[in-house]
Amino acid sequence: MTAVGQLRSVVAGVGSYLPERVLTNAELASMVDTSDEWIVQRTGIRERHIAAPGETTSMLGERAARAALADAGLRPEDIDLVIVGTSTPDYTFPSTATQIQAALGIFHGVAFDLQAVCSGFVFALATADKFLRSGSHKRALVIGAETFSRIIDWTDRTTCVLFGDGAGAVVLEARASDGSMAERGVLTTHLRSDGRHRAKLHVDGGPSSTGTVGHLRMEGKEVFRFAVGMVTDVVKDAFAATGVTPGELRWFVPHQANRRIIDMSAAKLGIGPEKIVATVHLHGNTSAASIPLALSVARRDGRIERGDLVMLEAVGGGFTWGSALIRW
């Protein structure tokens, strides 16, 4: 029998889903005072996907989960842990995770949501990793799923051009490990938060404050200013914990919020531009869904291969921020 401490969480599959409806920058320019040129230059975003009326976060998450299970060659009943990173749940309760669990026909194990805004996927991954390494659970679906279109103020040009809807998922499996860095799996995770910055990035409603869902509000310049520092600190923590150097990384898969934040962070970390996986131009900022969406694209097009060292990082409202280093 494998003793506790000799287990590692290995990525067995990845999948994603984007709603059919595409909203281009040109279309946005007919809704608010903006332009394709401004949006591309400041953010790198060219289009985003918008959920159809009645299409909820759990529906997007279920599609991504099914794609990840297919990629892993597993069935829903093989999963005993479902964690969903989301800030746009179907309902205040029950959790989106239990909705997805039921839709997949999983009637054992445990499912719960995790709220860390754009860091939601990294937080969910780190949490699932700790469950799996403890030996309490065997296979986890880690999902990031969002319908930010439902909390966007579509008259506010400073925010409505930035966000989109989507979902991504990975299957993590506990496997016996000798603890070496060469072995596949999650090698280290680092999570941080600091609640003093709420005003810089928040939603101005909620069940206990206004009794409404509210709209996303952001001081963009301030968020930008903090984001690069937070991202680089937590990625450096991952390097320090493992002894891995930027040169040894094969891929850098950051939260897809803004191309300029991504490029600036990579440059500060000494990570070459050829190692960046950027998909923000295709779907905008999908919050907790953005990292597994990018992973899924890079896996499908053959960039990420088994054994590659992949660094994930995210920063989001709270502030929350985190990193994860994975031997794929």
Q: Which residue, 111 or 152, is less far from ligand ACO as judged by CB? A: 152
Contact map string, positions 147 to 186, toward ligand ACO, x by CB under 6 A: ----------xx--x-------------------------
d(CA 132, CA 307): 20
Is residue 261 a contact residue for ligand ACO (CB under 6 A)?
A: yes
In this complex, which beta carbon is closest to ligand ACO, that of residue 78 or of residue 204?
204
For residue 285, indicate whether it is catalytic.
Answer: yes
Q: Is 36 exposed, middle or buried (0-12, 13-18, 19+ CB in 10 A)?
A: middle
As beta bridge partners, residue 176 has 7
Q: Rule CB under 6 A: is residue 34 a binding residue for ligand ACO?
A: yes
Query: How far is Cα 7 from Cα 133, in angstroms, rounded to an integer?
Result: 5
Count interface residues toward ligand ACO (CB under 6 A). 23
Pick the catalytic residue from 25, 49, 118, 215: 118
Q: Would you say 19 or 164 has its CB closer to ligand ACO? A: 164
d(CA 9, CA 19): 30
Minimal CB distance residue for ligand ACO: 220
Distance CA 22, CA 9 (A): 35
State yes or no: is 25 an active-site residue: no
The answer to whether 326 and 312 are in contact (CB under 8 A) is: yes
42 makes contact with ligand ACO (CB under 6 A): yes
Which CB atom, from 118 or from 191, has the smaller least distance to ligand ACO? Answer: 118
Determine if 290 is a binding residue for ligand ACO (CB under 6 A): no
Active site residues: 118, 255, 285
Binding region for ligand ACO (CB under 6 A): 34, 38, 42-43, 117-118, 157-158, 161, 201, 218, 220-221, 223-224, 257-258, 261, 285, 287, 315-317
